[in-house]
Amino acid sequence: MKNPSPKFFLIMGVSGSGKSVVGRLLAQKLGWDFFDADDFHPPANIAKMASGLPLDDVDRIPWLGSLRGLVSFCLESNRPGILSCSALKESYRRYLIADNPAVRVIYLKGGFDLILSRMAARAEHFMKPKMLESQFDALEEPVDALIINIELSIDEIVEKIIAHE
């Protein structure tokens, strides 16, 4: 039996891979709610990252708990949604989606140099380009996700996601 069509997308990847931009456009095209995981960080996490220090697992526990609650609420309320979230480790992704077949993981994959150049062009984001290496170090690439190369345009990435489902 085929899995049901997803009702929730988790768009993951390292900082600067385009998760928020892709998520917003995809939500607009599908008429779904969009959530940016950055908006759910407690102030202490933002301050830590803004000072150039990467978060550790202890820092992430309350943040991931809030995001898991959001995903569960949306699914229980039959409100399709899209969450952009780094979700770099497999354990984070498993925790967030709780093996729910209604959630589809989309991995925006790109090379270090391309992403670093994008991050350097961003203004006023708490995640600093010098922290990108820690993101790649923590990244556990998913094997059970729709993997999309970020060298494509934003429109092409969104169309690939829509066409795949």
pTM of the model: 0.88
Residue 57 in tokens = 């697992």
Residue 92 and residue 3 in contact, taking contact as beta carbons nearer than 8 Å: no
Q: pLDDT tens digits for the chain (165 residues)?
A: 344 567 999 999 998 899 999 999 999 999 999 999 989 999 998 888 888 787 888 998 999 999 999 999 999 999 999 999 999 999 999 999 988 899 999 999 999 999 888 777 655 554 555 678 888 989 999 999 999 999 999 999 999 999 986
Predicted pLDDT at 98: 85
105/108 Cα distance (integer angstroms) = 10
Domains, the chain, with CATH or none = 12-164 (3.40.50.300)
Q: 6: Cβ–Cβ under 8 A, 6 or more apart, which residues?
A: 101, 102, 103, 104, 165
Cα 119 from Cα 34, distance rounded (Å): 22
